[in-house]
A and B are shown apart, each in its own frame.
Chain A
């Protein structure tokens, strides 16, 4: 696994999260209103969002480790074609994510629907964490937040199925999570103007095309004779 994969995971997180500003930005603001009154501005704007995100990213990493484990098992199952097959799967997921972001074809919503069932099991726990009056609760809430149904996370997970080990899967998802950080923290820090820009049609289309291109490149590079990057 080369560092380019980490860059790629980071990029997916960065690009994809532009889309999430609307959805997760809402959580971020709502959670900020759930803070105990009297918290300082810095704590509100940066401290707690950072805790939420740390929890969130930790959950991603855990999911990544599971995906990596899964991929490891699959690889053994598929034999020599394992790695290529998984990469092609990841590439396809990336293309689908592109469609999802641009709003052209939202097939990933079906995946989200599955995820929503998992979330239903977890959601009741959030009630115990409101109001958020200490950093521990914020972190725990972040951990739960990581399991919200999200097409973006699922396609990144599909990617880490191609990882060589659970550890690498976790690291990949960590890179992805770090990529989402600017957008998530930015919600509190920057003006609405930036957020509007991030969610504008053209920005989303640009990010979508980039991801689709990236996905296609991943797929073609796995097909002998088309690309030369196979392992």
Chain B
């Protein structure tokens, strides 16, 4: 602010201060000149009521000082150099040596046309390999070749078509949600106020017409209606014009084209009528259209935001801070996305674990429900891995971070989800195409309708065309599938089931056969010792102690069955023989334990395995067999329920196993599954699947997703059961993060419900348009009702889709 008297500006309002007088007020210790007694009084009052801080607060954006001061930070952030590797680091994931992947948050996306425009423009850029933009989450997955194009280039390419992109992080998305919400509310509020006012004036005009109102009054009321309607037309309805224009620029007819047409025609016709003393004004219709349409959009947006919460929750960890430990165990708070592999962090009880890591110190329980849907905390002790984003419940833990934030389990999960979301299911692509033709048809029909009414009843022609333009709603048609799929994806994620491909949900619908690959999917995956049969002169306890002493050396699942038992410390030099067993020294003798063939090697008379089922392992010395041990892997508690339920639903269950010990047959027998194939190579399994498929069966395959990828790939849809540690390697259409099988039934239930809802949505959208269009063309629907009808028809579709979310079983918090 200048201090030269010639250009002195009022400290309060910024207008010039008259040369001859000052009207000073003491603010912040010095006298400030005001332009008039009014400003003086205001400023004095502001000081007197103790709000002096207002002047400090507004310093940066004081009116008249720096016109666009508040725009500066945003402007700067846009200029931020995204080519800088330091800045990119937290967001960019290197998929291969020549490819990088990032998720961008794109602002300004309102419809499929916007997404299409951005995708087209990016796909044209040399070096961009994949670009998929999700219309409902506004996130774009971009894979590019850094040798050909830079990240900055990609962001600039998006800016070229009029959208703003920035690397996705959940904080920004939350902020964007808030921003969108605020703007929408403001537009909606103004439209609401405006339409109430205009309705009142119109009421006055209509009533006045009966009572012989003074034409001057009518003129006045019309004029005021126009003034009130103008901000509604320009500010509230602005998004419609922008979208329509973007759509047209992309040669893509969208819903907003007819809506904008209706608004603009009605608005101009009304002002024309005001100035020419014409018979009708439509200001009330314009503001009501805008209000009802915005109301519909607003609810739609709120619901979209709600389903986005799921993925924000998944990305939760980057909102966190981490206590980074230095070499002297001093901790510093840093944002969790700055953690690097190798860092040590301290996680106090009640804090969220900031990244994937291995426990170095401490013994605690960790709540992994956000990952698995399982609400019983799991124990973690030194050596165990903990996943970022889960909650440390009991005691402080010291962790060594294993993965950089971009490669963490959570980031991988989010990428998998994003990919599934970004791949548009073919059904919704079809709906989009139909909707586009539909709009073109509506525009043609409106012209015909107008021509018809112009000839027969010219005074009604205008109204009727307005109604036709607004009443038809292809959005209901194009929203029907994607909203349901999005809601279903969110509901499934709540169960701990992640659909990682877009076709997963569609494919799960028509499953006839369920194939369990490996018995591990049906059993708990850890063995326990069921029976010990001594063969020589020693007790059961002695035999167990010898076995335990040997097996201590091994981490094999079977060996773990002995880990809890007391062991004989006289055993030394235990050594593992891969795929066979363990040998060691005991009182000068060589002990062997493991597969019968390995243990009985060199024995004159190999003992016969007992007839009872299950898996038997043998303990021997060089001279004689000492004992048989029966180990068994117990069935998962809910395996039987699952199999029975699947059978009741008319689906056939199969067990395939590479194991030849009879274990698989035993498991299948316990579950009443007749289709078993054991001792099968991956090729055998694939052939088995193909045979089923040749019979017209749709096969769902369950596996661990790690070693059986080719087999899983052959199924119509595959689900990997994973505890989340090796997610990045998982090649399946869906991941079941939960430790139990029950969610699978719920998954199938939700899929059934989803398709029921999609069918309902399509039926509704179709019937609504089939009935509404002729009715509007016939002049039976007044324009205000058409606006309600149109908004309601898409709202119904969205609300119907949201029932999927609500019916999902509640999760414990």
Please give the residue numbers on chain A whose beta carbons come within 8 Å of chain B beta carbons, in ascending order.
2-4, 6-7, 10, 14, 19, 21-27, 29-30, 33-34, 41-42, 45-46, 103, 106, 109, 112-113, 115-116, 119, 123, 126-127, 130, 148-151, 182, 189-190, 192-193, 195-196, 199
Residues of B within 8 A of A113 (CB): 37
Q: Assess whether B39 is in contact with A193, with CB atoms less than 8 Å apart.
A: no
Question: Considering only CB atoms, which chain A residue lies closest to B228 in the complex?
Answer: A182
Question: Considering only CB atoms, which chain A residue lies closest to B230 in the complex?
Answer: A182
Q: Tell me the smallest distance from the CB of A227 to a CB of chain B, in Å.
A: 18
Within 8 A of A (CB), among B168-193: 182, 185-186, 189-190, 193
Provided the pairs A6-B220, A196-B63 are in contact, do residues A130 and B186 lie with their beta carbons within 8 angstroms? no
B61 sits at the interface (CB 8 A): yes
Residues of A within 8 A of B54 (CB): 26, 29-30, 33
Provided the pairs A123-B48, A151-B38 are in contact, do residues A192 and B220 lie with their beta carbons within 8 angstroms? no
Within 8 A of A (CB), among B9-50: 10, 12-16, 18, 21, 36-46, 48-50
Provided the pairs A23-B42, A26-B42, A42-B185 are in contact, do residues A127 and B36 lie with their beta carbons within 8 angstroms? no
Within 8 A of A (CB), among B39-73: 39-46, 48-51, 53-54, 57-58, 61, 63-64, 67-70
Residues of B within 8 A of A182 (CB): 227, 231
Q: Tell me the smallest distance from the CB of B271 to a CB of chain A, in Å.
A: 16
Residues of B within 8 A of A195 (CB): 63
Residues of A within 8 A of B40 (CB): 116
Q: List 23 A-B contacts (CB under 8 A).
A: A2-B214, A3-B216, A3-B217, A4-B216, A6-B220, A21-B63, A22-B12, A23-B12, A23-B39, A30-B54, A33-B53, A41-B185, A42-B182, A45-B182, A46-B193, A112-B36, A116-B40, A116-B41, A127-B49, A130-B50, A148-B38, A192-B61, A192-B69
Selected contact of A22 from candidates B50, B64, B69, B219, CB within 8 Å: B64
Given contacts A34-B49, A149-B38, 11 further A-B contacts (CB under 8 A): A7-B223, A26-B46, A27-B46, A112-B36, A116-B40, A116-B41, A127-B49, A149-B41, A151-B36, A151-B38, A195-B63
B224 sits at the interface (CB 8 A): yes
Selected contact of B63 from candidates A14, A22, A112, CB within 8 Å: A22
Residues of A within 8 A of B50 (CB): 130
Q: Tell me the smallest distance from the CB of A96 to a CB of chain B, in Å.
A: 14
Q: Assess whether B49 is in contact with A112, with CB atoms less than 8 Å apart.
A: no
Q: Assess whether A46 is in contact with B189, with CB atoms less than 8 Å apart.
A: yes
Q: Tell me the smallest distance from the CB of B682 to a CB of chain A, in Å.
A: 59
Q: Assess whether A7 is in contact with B220, with CB atoms less than 8 Å apart.
A: yes
Q: Assess whether B45 is in contact with A109, with CB atoms less than 8 Å apart.
A: no
Q: Tell me the smallest distance from the CB of B613 to a CB of chain A, in Å.
A: 67
Residues of B within 8 A of A3 (CB): 214, 216-217, 219-220
Q: Assess whether B64 is in contact with A27, with CB atoms less than 8 Å apart.
A: no
Q: Tell me the smallest distance from the CB of A30 to a CB of chain B, in Å.
A: 4
A182 to B228, CA, bound (A): 9
Q: Assess whether A130 is in contact with B14, with CB atoms less than 8 Å apart.
A: no
Question: Considering only CB atoms, which chain A residue lies closest to B18 in the complex?
Answer: A106
Q: Assess whether A126 is in contact with B14, with CB atoms less than 8 Å apart.
A: no
Please give the residue numbers on chain B whose beta carbons come within 8 Å of chain A beta carbons, in ascending order.
10, 12-16, 18, 21, 36-46, 48-51, 53-54, 57-58, 61, 63-64, 67-70, 182, 185-186, 189-190, 193, 214, 216-217, 219-220, 223-224, 227, 231, 235
Residues of A within 8 A of B182 (CB): 41-42, 45
Q: Tell me the smallest distance from the CB of B64 to a CB of chain A, in Å.
A: 7
Q: Pick the 3 closest A-B CB pairs, nearest first.
A: A22-B13, A112-B37, A3-B220
Residues of A within 8 A of B217 (CB): 3
Residues of B within 8 A of A123 (CB): 41, 44-45, 48
Q: Assess whether A23 is in contact with B220, with CB atoms less than 8 Å apart.
A: no
A151 to B219, CA, bound (A): 29
A115 to B182, CA, bound (A): 39
Question: Considering only CB atoms, which chain B residue lies closest to A112 in the complex?
Answer: B37
Q: Assess whether B48 is in contact with A150, with CB atoms less than 8 Å apart.
A: no
A117 to B53, CA, bound (A): 26
Q: Assess whether A33 is in contact with B57, with CB atoms less than 8 Å apart.
A: yes
Q: Assess whether A126 is in contact with B219, with CB atoms less than 8 Å apart.
A: no
Residues of B within 8 A of A46 (CB): 186, 189-190, 193
Residues of B within 8 A of A150 (CB): 38
Provided the pairs A10-B224, A42-B189 are in contact, do residues A27 and B14 lie with their beta carbons within 8 angstroms? no
Residues of A within 8 A of B46 (CB): 26-27, 30
Q: Assess whether B37 is in contact with A42, with CB atoms less than 8 Å apart.
A: no
Selected contact of A199 from candidates B14, B214, B216, CB within 8 Å: B14
Residues of A within 8 A of B12 (CB): 22-23, 26
Selected contact of B51 from candidates A22, A24, A30, A189, CB within 8 Å: A30
Q: Assess whether B220 is in contact with A103, with CB atoms less than 8 Å apart.
A: no
Q: Tell me the smallest distance from the CB of B237 to a CB of chain A, in Å.
A: 15
Provided the pairs A33-B53, A33-B54 are in contact, do residues A23 and B38 lie with their beta carbons within 8 angstroms? yes
Residues of B within 8 A of A2 (CB): 214, 216
A24 to B43, CA, bound (A): 10
Q: Assess whether A116 is in contact with B220, with CB atoms less than 8 Å apart.
A: no
A148 to B333, CA, bound (A): 51
A27 to B54, CA, bound (A): 10
Residues of B within 8 A of A193 (CB): 67-68
Residues of A within 8 A of B224 (CB): 7, 10
Q: Tell me the smallest distance from the CB of B421 to a CB of chain A, in Å.
A: 29
Residues of A within 8 A of B58 (CB): 26, 29
Residues of A within 8 A of B48 (CB): 123, 126-127
Q: Assess whether A126 is in contact with B63, with CB atoms less than 8 Å apart.
A: no
Residues of A within 8 A of B63 (CB): 21-22, 25-26, 192, 195-196, 199
A151 to B15, CA, bound (A): 15
A150 to B37, CA, bound (A): 8
A182 to B193, CA, bound (A): 12
Q: Assess whether A23 is in contact with B37, with CB atoms less than 8 Å apart.
A: no
Q: Assess whether A109 is in contact with B68, with CB atoms less than 8 Å apart.
A: no
Question: Considering only CB atoms, which chain B residue lies closest to A32 in the complex?
Answer: B54
A29 to B51, CA, bound (A): 11
Q: Assess whether A22 is in contact with B42, with CB atoms less than 8 Å apart.
A: no
Q: Assess whether B220 is in contact with A22, with CB atoms less than 8 Å apart.
A: no
A149 to B227, CA, bound (A): 28
Q: Tell me the smallest distance from the CB of B204 to a CB of chain A, in Å.
A: 11
Residues of A within 8 A of B49 (CB): 34, 126-127, 130
Q: Assess whether B45 is in contact with A196, with CB atoms less than 8 Å apart.
A: no
Question: Considering only CB atoms, which chain A residue lies closest to B44 in the complex?
Answer: A123
Q: Assess whether B38 is in contact with A45, with CB atoms less than 8 Å apart.
A: no
Residues of B within 8 A of A30 (CB): 46, 51, 54
Residues of B within 8 A of A103 (CB): 15-16, 18
A123 to B43, CA, bound (A): 11
Provided the pairs A42-B185, A192-B63 are in contact, do residues A148 and B42 lie with their beta carbons within 8 angstroms? yes
Residues of B within 8 A of A14 (CB): 227
A30 to B51, CA, bound (A): 7
A196 to B227, CA, bound (A): 21
Q: Tell me the smallest distance from the CB of B36 to a CB of chain A, in Å.
A: 5
> Which of the listed residues A23, A106, A113, A150 has the most CB atoms from chain B within 10 Å of its own CB?
A23
> Which of the listed residues B18, B46, B68, B193 has the most CB atoms from chain A within 10 Å of its own CB?
B46
A148 to B371, CA, bound (A): 60
Residues of A within 8 A of B18 (CB): 103, 106, 109
Q: Assess whether B216 is in contact with A109, with CB atoms less than 8 Å apart.
A: no
Question: Considering only CB atoms, which chain A residue lies closest to B66 in the complex?
Answer: A192
A189 to B189, CA, bound (A): 11
Residues of B within 8 A of A115 (CB): 37-38
A27 to B45, CA, bound (A): 9
Residues of B within 8 A of A149 (CB): 37-38, 41
> Which of the listed residues A26, A34, A112 has the most CB atoms from chain B within 10 Å of its own CB?
A26
Residues of A within 8 A of B43 (CB): 26
A25 to B64, CA, bound (A): 12
Q: Tell me the smallest distance from the CB of B371 to a CB of chain A, in Å.
A: 33
Residues of B within 8 A of A6 (CB): 220
Q: Tell me the smallest distance from the CB of B380 to a CB of chain A, in Å.
A: 39
Residues of B within 8 A of A34 (CB): 49, 51
Q: Tell me the smallest distance from the CB of A219 to a CB of chain B, in Å.
A: 22
Residues of B within 8 A of A23 (CB): 12-13, 36, 38-39, 42
